[in-house]
Structure 1
Amino acid sequence: MFPCYAHILFSLICMTVQSSSPDASKCGYSSCPKGKDGMLNVHLVPHTHDDVGWLKTVDQYFYGEKNNIQRAGVQYILDSVVQELLQDPSKRFIYVEIAFFARWLNEQNDIMRHAVKGLVKSGRLEFILGGWCMNDEATTHYNAIIDQHALGFEFLRQNFGECGRPRVAWQIDPFGHSREQASLFAQMGFDGLFFGRADYEDIDQRKKTKTMEMMWNGSPKNLGSKADLFTGVLFNGYSPPPGFCFDINCNDDPIQDDDRLHDYNVDQKTTQFIRYAQLQASHYATNNIIMTMGSDFNYQNAHTWFKNMDKLIKYVNQRQVNGSKVNAFYSTPSCYLQSLNNASKTWTTKQDDFFPYAHRPHSFWTGYFTSRPTLKGFVRQTNNFLQVCKQLDGLAELKDTDNSTFHLNILREALGVAQHHDAVSGTEKQAVAYDYAERLANGVMECQKVANDALKKLYKKGSTPAPNQLFCNLLNISACHVTENSKQFTLTVYNPLARSVISWIRLPVVGTNYTIRGPKGENLLSQIIQVSADTKRIPERKGSLAKNELVFRADLPPLGFNTYFISMTGSREKQSTKTFKMKSNSDLVMKNEHVSLTFDGPTGALKQITNLDSRVTVQVKQELMYYIGVSGSSKSSALNAQPSGAYIFRPNETVPLSFHADLKKTTVIKEGALVQEVYQKFSPWATQVIRLYDGAQHAEFEWTVGPIPVSDMIGKEVISRFSTDLATNGVVYTDANGREILQRKRNHRDTWNFTNTEPVSGNYYPVNSRIYLRDETKKIQFTVLTDRSQGGGSITDGNLELMVHRRLLWDDYLGVGEALNETGMDGKGLIARGKHFIYVDTIENSAKFHRDMALKLYMAPSLSFTTSTMKQSDWTKVYHTSWSGLKAALPDNVHILTFVQWAGPSFTPRTSQPYLVRFEHIYEKDEDVELSKPVKIVLQNLFVPFDVQSVEELTLGANLQLSQLHRLQWKTNQHFPDLSRQSQPVTATDNFTVILNPMEIRTFQITWK
C-alpha cells in the first residue's frame, strides 16, 4: 500500500487505491448504475473524441502544440479527467484511442498508474472500442483492422487485466460503416456497436420507425449469429444536446443556480434539457436513451464539464418531485447497452452496410475512397511487410536480445495510427499526411532490421556468419541502389503465404545482359525491358541509374524463401524484347496460353479479352478518363455550392471526359519470351502499361497519373473505365474490407426509398481489393482487382469504373480547411502509380481466381539483397538457398493470417515462447464447389522449426480465451438459419486438428516444444 501524503491529490489517490482492492473491484456490467422503473432514463456519457492525427499530427495533438490550428492537447484531457474522477466516485468517463492513452500512462509515476488502475477496476474509467485508433471502415483492410485492435487490446490487458477489456465498439466519427467491420467486432467479442454517422435519409426513416437501434447481421451467409452485432445510431452524432456543451471551447451558457443573481437560469436549462430528452426518446424504442456529453478534444478542463453536469443531474432529477418522468445519471455506452438488453425487446435486423454516406443532398462522402492514393498504396504495402517481419521473427525464433519486439512495435504502432479515419482515408491536412508517411517509413526501416536478423539466422547451415540483407523501397518506380550499382548480387525472395506461389520479379539494372542462377544452381530465363520514359519522368526516382528492368520468374516455397544469384555478363547479346508501334488498321492481338487481349486497329484501344481455357470472351473498351470536380463558393452552406474535396466526390457532369487520344499513334508494343507489354498514352500526364506474363491467367494494367494539371483552375478526378457488353441489370459487386462480397444495385438502398441527387457519386462504393460485373444469362464474370483501396461503381449497365487519382482546388467545407492538392518532391502535382488486375471467366470459375489473387496482392513476396560476390556453389555449402517453414503447403482455401511470437491471456511461464497464430478460411459459402467446403488442418508436424505442445483458442482480438466469452443475447424480429458453429476443441488427442468453415477465422495461442 502506498503511503498517504499531505497533498490533496495524493490523498485522493490513496483513497482510490484503498477502495479498489481485489475484493472491492467492480468493473464491467456489474458496475453499472441502475435506472428507475417507469422513468425515461437518460444515460449521460462523458467522453472525448481524440483524432489520432487530422488537422495536427498525432504528436501535436498529444502535447497541445500548434493551438493556432486547433485547440487540442490530449495529455491535458487525461490529466484533468483523472483528477476529477479521483475526487468523486459518482463520476464516470470513457476513453477510446489507446495510441494516446498508452503514451499518457507511460509518462505517469507509479502512484498515478496505481490510481488509474483503481479507477478502471471500479468501472469509473472505462475503455470503449480499445483499438490503437478509431479506424476508418471504407479504406482499411481487414488484416490491418484486426492488428490495430489487437495492439490496443494487448496494452489494456497487460495494464488493466479483465477490467480493461472493452465490451462495446464506438465508431462515432467514421464516414460510413462496413458490414465486415461489424462482423470482426462480433468475433472480437464485443456486445454492441454505436456510431454517429449514417445517411440523412436513412436516419430520417429510422427516427420515424424507432429503428435507430437494431441487430446487424455481419455475415448472414457464412458465420451466422457468431457475426451478429447489436448496433445503435446515436441521436446527435457524438455531440452534446444543443445548449449543453460545457467545454472551454464551447459557447453555451453554464448552469447558473444562485437565485440571488440576475442570470439565474436553472429553470430554463432544466426545461430545455427535459424537452430535448423527450424529443430524443420519441425516436427510440425503450425508456433508456444515451446522450454523448463531449466532442472533439473536449475535457481539457474537465472541471467545467463535470461541475455543470452535476448541476444538470441534480436539477433534472429534482423535477421528479413535481411529476417529471426524466431521470439523468452518469453512465457509459456499455451500461446503456446493458439497459437495452434488459428491456427484453424484439429488435429489427439489417444485412447490408451503411455505404455510401451522405449528410445532405449533393454531399456524398465517396471522394475519400480514393483521396491520397499514394498514401493508401503505402499503407497497404507496409501492412504486407509487417506480416513478413512478424513471420520471419517467429520462424527464426528471435529473442529479446535481438530487440526484435522493439523494432516490430515501431511499425505496429505506425501502422496502427495509419488506420485512423483521418489517415488512410486521405482526409487529413497535407502536413499530417507527410507525418503519417514518415512514421510508416521509419517503421519499415526498423522492421527491416528484424527481417535482416531473421534471414541471417535462417540462412545458416553452420557457424559461418551470413551477410546483411539490403532493401530497396522504390522498386515500383524502377529504382534500387543495390541492383544499379552492383555487377553481382544475390536476391532473396520470401513468400509469406502458406502455399507455393509464382512471382514475377522486375529489377532495375544498368546493363543489358545478366545471368540468373536459381537456388539449385539452375540457369533461369530472363528478359530485359527498357525503363519507360513515363517512369523516368517520376521525380522521386531522381538519381537512379537504371535504364532497364531485368524480368524473371521466381517459384517460391510456402512460408519460405529462395535465393537467386545474379551477375552482369560481359557479352552484349541482342535484347530479348522487340519493340514496335501500331501502324495498320488491323487489330493487334497479345496473348499467352491462357489469355488473349485484342486491341482495335483503327483506335489502338483495348477491344476484347478472351479466356482461352474456358473460351469466354468479353467485348471491353478500357480508357483513362476524368471528371471535373464542382468548384467551391463563398456560400458554403448552400446545397448547390457543395464542392468536391478530400471527403466529397461531386462531379459537375454525369459523363466523364475523354482525353481523345489517338492510341494507335501512341501505343508501343514490346514482345518477349516472358512478358508482353502495350504502352498507351492518353495524355502527357495519364499513361498506362498493359502486361501479359507468360502463364498468367490475368492481364495487368499499370496506370501512371500525374501531375494532374490545374493551370486552368479546374480540379480533376481521374478514373479507369471498363465498358463491356455484359448485361448487368444495374448490379455490381464489391468486397468489404478485403473479405466478403456485397451486391450493389444502382440507385438503390435496401433500408429506405433512396433519392439520388448525385447519379455518379451516389453510386460509388469502397473497393478495397476487388470489384466485378456479372451477366447472369451468359454466366460470365468480369473482375478487376486493385492494389489499394479506391472508389468505384457501375454508373451504367455493363460498365465499371475505378477512381485512381484526384487533385482538387477547393476545400469541401468539412473541417480540413485546405484543398486536396498534393504535390511531389519537385513541387508539381503528385504522380500516382498503381495496378489493376483483370480476369474474365465463367461465374463458376471466377471465385477461385479473385480469392487467390486478392490474397497474393496483399501478401506479396518480400525482396532483399546482398552484394556478396560469393559463388553460388560456395554459398550452398554454408547457407540455405531454399527454405520453407512448413513441412507441407496448406490447402488453397486456408491462409495463415497471423504468425507472431506473443504471450497472451492464457500464457503461463514455460520453457518456450508462445505464439499467436490465426488461420483463415478465405472462401464464402457456395463460392466454389470444392474450396467452399470446411477444411481440416493438423497443427502437429505442420511447421518445420517446432512441434505443438499446447493450444488455447482465443477471441479474434486475442484478449480473452474463447471459452470465457459470453456475449449478451438479443431477440430479433427475423429468424435466419443459425450458421454459427461451436468451434471444435483443439486437443493433443487429435494432433491438434483445426476445422475451418467458410469465412471463419480462428485464433490460437500456441506453445511449441
Structure 2
Amino acid sequence: MATPEYTPFVFLLLLFQSSVWGFPVCQTPQESPTCGYKSCHATKPGMLNVHLVPHTHDDVGWLKTVDQYFYGDRNDIQHAGVQYILDSVVDQLLKNPDRRFIYVETAFFYRWWKQQTDDMQNTVKQLVNEGRLEFVNGGWCMSDEATTHYSAVIDQMTMGLRFLNDTFGHCGRPRVAWHIDPFGHAREHASMFAQMGYDGFFFGRLDYQDRNRRMVAREQEMLWRASESLTPPMADLFTGILPNGYNPPEGFCWDQSCDDPPIRDDPDLEDYNVDDVVTRFLHIAHGQALVYKTNHIIMTMGSDFQYENANLWYKNLDKLIRYVNQMQSNGSEVNVLYSTPSCYLQELHRANLTWPLKGDDFFPYADSAHDFWTGYFTSRPALKRYERISNSYLQTCKQLEVLGGPISRKGPFGAGDSETLKKAMAVAQHHDAVSGTEKQHVANDYARKLANGWAHCQVLVSNTLSSLSGSSAPRVYCEHLNISVCPLTETMNVYNPLARPVSWPVRLPVNGTAYRISDVVPVSQATAAVRRGRGYAVNELLFQVQAPPLGYSTYSVSLLQNGPPSPQSSPLPRAPKAFLRVTFDPETGLLSSLSNLETQQTVKLSQNFYWYNASDGNNSESIQMSGAYIFRPNTSTPFIISKTAKIETLQNSVVQEVRQWFSPWVSQVVRLYTDSRALELEWTVGPVPIGDDLGKEVISRLDSSINSSGVFYTDSNGREMLQRRKDYRPTWNLRQSEPIAGNYYPINSRAYIKDDKDQLTVVTDRSQGGGSIQDGSLEIMLHRRLLYDDVRGVGEPLNEMSDIYPEGLVVRGRHLLSLSPPATAADTHRPLAQEVVLQPSSMDFEKEFSGLQAVLPPAVHLLTVSQWDQDTVLLRLEHQYQASESKEHSQPVTVNLQKLFSTLDVLGVSEMNLSANQWKDEMTRLDWKAESGTHHTGVTNQLSAYSAL
C-alpha cells in the first residue's frame, strides 16, 4: 500500500483467517431518521437567534470516584448522581418533542444503558433517531489536553464512539467535539478531532487576555489549522469559544443546585416576574451578540452534574422560550429555541462567512493575572507515570491478544481480557485524572482500576505466551524494576511492542555477584531506601537485550560464582562504542559538558535541582495560592538544593554511572549505556520536606551554552512539536504578570532548545511542565508538595502520602538527553520517545518470536494492533515525522500489508477514519472559508481508502 501524500495516520480494518465480512461498525440507520443536522429547529432570518443547549457536565471522577458519581454515593462530598440525571432527562424529553439534550461522557452512559429494559432502550433509540437526545464528543471521557498522550486519547475516543456506533448507528455519531472544562487546549487534539470526522469543536476555557482581545475583535470563533504538516483542510477544525465557560447566563440557572428564582408567570401573584426575566434575558442576549460574528449565539443551559431533576430546568426553559418569543409581536428581534451544538454549528456554516485562522495552541491558560493553570502539568507525578506505563502495557496486551488468537482470552491460565485495562485507561484520560487535579481518594481509585486492568491483561498475556512457546509454566511479571524489585527466574524475556528491533538495558535485582551474559552492580543507596522493605537484593544484574519487532527474546540468567563484585572504577571516560561523552566538574560533582562524538559537537552543560517556594496567598499582589491546578511561586528565583553533589562512579562493559547525592531527599544517577545516543538522568525526589511550613515545587534545570534566544520547543500530546517563546503569545500582546508560571508549558514526551549548530533534546518518561526561563536553559518540574488548596474546586492541598511513604511521596523518573545538529535531531529523539512510551515488558518465558515478517520503515510507527471482532483486526499505521522535520524520514512511505504479519493471513482491507466510526470513503465534513479568502472544500478523501480480497 502506498501513501500518495504525507499523511499522519492510516487506519484500517484487516480481514483475516475467514472469508466472511462482518464489521460491527457504521450501522445502517433506521428508516428516515431525522437526527443530526436534519433535526434542528427552524431559525428566523433577520433576527438574533439564541440557541439554548441543555447539557450536563459529568466528570468521570474528580471529588468522588467514578462509581460514586454514577450511583450518587457520598453526597456529603458533592451532591451528584449520574444515573438519576439520565433517568430524569429521558422522562422530560418525552413530554415535549421540542426539547433537546446533549450527552457527552460515554463511560457513564454505557453503565446506565446496560441497566435499562428493552422498552427503555427502544425509547432512547427513538429519541436519538429524532435528534432530541444527541451525543457530542462521544469519547469514553472528556480527556485532558495537556497531560495525555495522543495514542491513549485515540484509544479512549475509539472506545466511546464504537459503543455509540454499535448501539445507535448513524444517529449515534457525534458531529461536534466538546471540551468545555479542560484547562487549556492542545493543537494535536484539534488535529485528531478533524481526522476523526468532526465538523466543529467548542470549548469553555482560554486565557483571560486572549478572551478579552477576541471579544473586542469578534474572533471567538475561528478556523483552527491544527497541523503544519498536513495539507489543508485535513487538520482544519472550526472552533468556537463558549460565552460563559459552560454555565448558563447569570440569573438563569434552574437546577436544584441553583439559587436563581424560577419564572413565576401567574399574573395574579404579587411576585409575578415574567417581564423582569424577559428584560434581563434580552439584555444578556444583545450583549453577547456584540462579541460574536453572526446573528446566532449559543447559551449553555446546565453545568456540573445538573438535570438530576430535569423538570426544574425544562419547565422554566419552556416558559423562557415562550415569553421571549412572544415579544416578537411587539417588535423584538430575538428568537429563542432549543438547540444543540451541531445545530448552532450548522447555522454558522450557513452564514458563509470568512473566519480567522489559528495556528498555535491555547497554552498556558490563566483565568486572571496571577492564576496560571500550569501546576497540573506535573501534579501527581507518580500517577502520571503509572498511566504512561499502563498505556504501554495495554498496547502489549492488545497485540498479544491478536497474535495469540482465541486462546489468549480463554487458555490454560484462565479467562483474560484487554477490556478491563482499556476501560481503566480510558477513564484515566479524563481531565481530572491523569491531570492530577482530583482528590486523593479518587487518585487512589484510578490507580486501583489500572492495577485491576493489569491483572486481567496478565492472564491474557500468559495464555498467549503459553500458546506461542508451548510451555504452560507459571509466568512472572516484573512490575517494580524501577526500584530493583522482581522475583528472579532462570530465564528472562523482553517483549518489544514496537515494529522495529530495539536494544534495551535490563536491570534485575540479585544477591549473587557473577552471572553469565551480564555484569553486576551494587544497588544504590537511594534505591535501597526507596524500596521500603519491598525487596532486599543487594546487587543488580545488568545486560543489554535485543528484541525483535512485535516479539520477544529470551536470555538465561545463570549464577557462575559467589565472589567479589565485578570491577567498578573511576571517572566517566569514553566507552569503546560510545556516541556521547560526558564530563563532570571535579569540585562540584555536577555535569559540566556533553559531547556528540559522531558529529564532533560539544556544549557546556550543567544540571542541578532547585525548588520554588509555593505561594501561600499571603501576598500584596494576589491572594492566589499554589495548588493542584495553579503554579504560583512566591519568587522568580528558585532555591538551589545543593551547589555540590557527593558522587560515586561505576563502570563495566554495559554502562558507566555517576551516582549523585544532593540532599537526603534528592539523588540522581547519570548513566551512559554502551551504544546509546542518549544520556540517562534517573532522578529520585522525596519526601519533599515541609518542616518550614512552605510548599515546594521541585525542578531539574539544565543550563547550556546553546544560544536559544528565548525560544524552546515542546511536543503536543507526543506528536508534532511547537515553538514557545518567553513572555510571548502568537495571537495577542501578552502582559506578563507571572514570569515563571506564565512561561511554563506542557511537556508530554520531549522538549528541546537549539541554535544554528546544536540541539539539546530532553525526552521525559511522563507528562511534566517546564520552561526556558533563561537563554540556553531548560527546566522541568518533577514533583510538587503543597500545603494549601488553590480554590479551584478540589478542596484539598496536593500533599501526597501513603502507607509506604507516610512522611511524603517519593517519586523516581528518567530524563534522556541527546545532542545533535538541528537538521538531524528528529532522527534521534522521535524513535527515542517512542521507545519510552512503548517500552519493552520484562517477563519470563521461552523461545524467540516476532509477530512481523519484516521491519517497518523508520518513518512508520505501528500505533495500534487490536482485536476488533472475531475475524477483523484494527490496525493503525502512523507516519511519525512532521513534514520537513527529517530530510530522510519525512517522505511518503510504502508498506506491504500482505507481508506484514507472521501469524495473520490478510484477506481484505478497508480504511476508516481515525476513530473507526466511519468508512473513510464516506467521511464528509463541512467546508469553511479561511480569513485568507481561500475556500477549502470538504474532506472526502483525507486518507486513501482500500478494500481488497
Q: Which amino acid aligns with 2:909?
A: V
Percent of aligned pairs sharing the same letter: 52
- Residue in structure 2 matching 1:753, options 710, 733, 736: 733
Give, in angstroms, the shift of residue 589 of structure 1: 7.2
Q: Which amino acid aligns with 2:813?
A: G
Q: Is residue 475 of structure 1 aligned with residue 481 of structure 2?
A: yes
Q: Which amino acid aligns with 1:215?
A: L
The equivalent residue for 1:833 is: 812
The equivalent residue for 2:208 is: 200
CA distance in 2, matches of 1:668, 1:937: 49
Q: What SS does structure 2 have at the residue aligned with 1:610?
A: strand
Q: What SS does structure 2 have at the residue aligned with 1:937?
A: coil
- Residue in structure 2 matching 1:125, options 133, 158, 171: 133
The equivalent residue for 1:803 is: 781
Give, in angstroms, the shift of residue 897 of structure 1: 0.5
Q: Is residue 705 of structure 1 aligned with residue 685 of structure 2?
A: yes
CA distance in 1, matches of 2:416, 2:490: 30
The equivalent residue for 1:84 is: 92
Q: Is residue 576 of structure 1 aligned with residue 566 of structure 2?
A: yes
Q: Is residue 353 of structure 1 aligned with residue 361 of structure 2?
A: yes
Contact 2:573-2:581 within 8 A present in 1 as well: no
The equivalent residue for 1:219 is: 227
- Residue in structure 2 matching 1:965, options 898, 901, 923: 923
With normalisation by structure 2, the TM-score equals 0.94
CA distance in 2, matches of 1:591, 1:77: 66
With normalisation by structure 1, the TM-score equals 0.89
The equivalent residue for 2:7 is: none
- Residue in structure 1 matching 2:640, options 655, 658, 674: 658
CA distance in 1, matches of 2:100, 2:415: 35
Contact 2:736-2:742 within 8 A present in 1 as well: yes
Give, in angstroms, the shift of residue 978 of structure 1: 8.0
Contact 1:177-1:355 within 8 A present in 2 as well: yes
The equivalent residue for 1:993 is: none
CA distance in 2, matches of 1:317, 1:982: 43
CA distance in 1, matches of 2:194, 2:671: 41
- Residue in structure 1 matching 2:468, options 450, 458, 462: 458
* Superposition pairs of residues 548-947 of structure 1, within 5 angstroms: 548-569=539-560, 571-579=561-569, 593-632=578-617, 640-663=622-645, 666-776=646-756, 779-824=757-802, 825-865=804-844, 881-903=847-869, 913-947=871-905
Give, in angstroms, the shift of residue 88 of structure 1: 1.6
CA distance in 1, matches of 2:827, 2:534: 42
Contact 2:928-2:935 within 8 A present in 1 as well: no
Change (3 A) 1:976 1:761: farther
Change (3 A) 1:399 1:346: farther
Q: What SS does structure 2 have at the residue aligned with 1:376?
A: helix
Deviations 1:935-976 (A, max 9, x none): 000111221112221111001000110111110011111268
* Superposition pairs of residues 212-361 of structure 1, within 5 angstroms: 212-361=220-369
CA distance in 1, matches of 2:942, 2:914: 15
Q: Is residue 434 of structure 1 aligned with residue 434 of structure 2?
A: no
The equivalent residue for 1:139 is: 147
Give, in angstroms, the shift of residue 143 of structure 1: 0.2
Q: What SS does structure 1 have at the residue aligned with 2:279?
A: helix
Q: What SS does structure 1 have at the residue aligned with 2:205?
A: coil
CA distance in 2, matches of 1:80, 1:62: 14
CA distance in 2, matches of 1:264, 1:406: 63
Contact 1:719-1:804 within 8 A present in 2 as well: yes
Aligned residues: 917
Q: Is residue 530 of structure 1 aligned with residue 522 of structure 2?
A: yes
Give, in angstroms, the shift of residue 710 of structure 1: 0.4
- Listed as ranges, the gaps of 5+ residues in structure 1 are 1-19, 516-523, 867-879, 904-911, 989-1006
Contact 1:717-1:803 within 8 A present in 2 as well: yes
Contact 1:398-1:454 within 8 A present in 2 as well: no
Give, in angstroms, the shift of residue 836 of structure 1: 0.2
Q: Which amino acid aligns with 1:468?
A: P
The equivalent residue for 2:62 is: 54
Give, in angstroms, the shift of residue 702 of structure 1: 0.3
Q: Which amino acid aligns with 2:461?
A: A
Q: What SS does structure 2 have at the residue aligned with 1:156?
A: helix
Give, in angstroms, the shift of residue 384 of structure 1: 0.3
Deviations 1:406-456 (A, max 9, x none): 721110111101000000000001111111111111111111111111111
Contact 2:54-2:302 within 8 A present in 1 as well: yes
CA distance in 2, matches of 1:942, 1:85: 51
Change (3 A) 1:725 1:935: same
CA distance in 1, matches of 2:161, 2:357: 29
Give, in angstroms, the shift of residue 543 of structure 1: 3.4
The equivalent residue for 1:410 is: 420
Change (3 A) 1:942 1:658: same
Q: Which amino acid aligns with 1:470?
A: V
CA distance in 1, matches of 2:659, 2:80: 50
Moved more, 262-271 or 467-476: 467-476
Q: Which amino acid aligns with 1:441?
A: A
Q: What SS does structure 2 have at the residue aligned with 1:424?
A: coil
Deviations 1:302-342 (A, max 9, x none): 00000000000000000000000110111000000001001
CA distance in 2, matches of 1:978, 1:955: 19
CA distance in 2, matches of 1:398, 1:800: 49
Give, in angstroms, the shift of residue 568 of structure 1: 2.5
Change (3 A) 1:819 1:21: closer
Change (3 A) 1:694 1:589: closer
CA distance in 2, matches of 1:443, 1:974: 49
Give, in angstroms, the shift of residue 546 of structure 1: 1.2
Contact 1:661-1:681 within 8 A present in 2 as well: no
Q: What SS does structure 2 have at the residue aligned with 1:197?
A: coil
Q: What SS does structure 2 have at the residue aligned with 1:863?
A: strand
CA distance in 2, matches of 1:58, 1:395: 33
Q: Is residue 25 of structure 1 aligned with residue 33 of structure 2?
A: yes
- Residue in structure 1 matching 2:537, options 539, 543, 546: 546
Q: What SS does structure 1 have at the residue aligned with 2:68?
A: helix
Give, in angstroms, the shift of residue 577 of structure 1: 3.9
Q: Which amino acid aligns with 1:860?
A: Q
The equivalent residue for 2:8 is: none
Give, in angstroms, the shift of residue 889 of structure 1: 0.5
CA distance in 2, matches of 1:845, 1:412: 36
The equivalent residue for 2:23 is: none
Contact 2:424-2:446 within 8 A present in 1 as well: yes
CA RMSD of aligned residues (A): 1.9
Give, in angstroms, the shift of residue 490 of structure 1: 1.7
Moved more, 329-338 or 400-409: 400-409
- Residue in structure 2 matching 1:153, options 137, 157, 161: 161
Change (3 A) 1:314 1:425: same
Contact 2:481-2:508 within 8 A present in 1 as well: yes
The structure, 1 or 2, with the larger RCO (C-alpha pairs under 8 Å, 6+ apart) is 2
Give, in angstroms, the shift of residue 160 of structure 1: 0.6
Contact 1:576-1:673 within 8 A present in 2 as well: no
Give, in angstroms, the shift of residue 90 of structure 1: 1.1
Q: What SS does structure 1 have at the residue aligned with 2:825?
A: helix
- Listed as ranges, the gaps of 5+ residues in structure 2 are 1-27
Q: What SS does structure 2 have at the residue aligned with 1:640?
A: coil
Contact 1:590-1:597 within 8 A present in 2 as well: no
CA distance in 1, matches of 2:934, 2:688: 50
Q: Which amino acid aligns with 1:182?
A: A
CA distance in 2, matches of 1:577, 1:432: 48
The equivalent residue for 1:14 is: none
Moved more, 491-500 or 251-260: 491-500
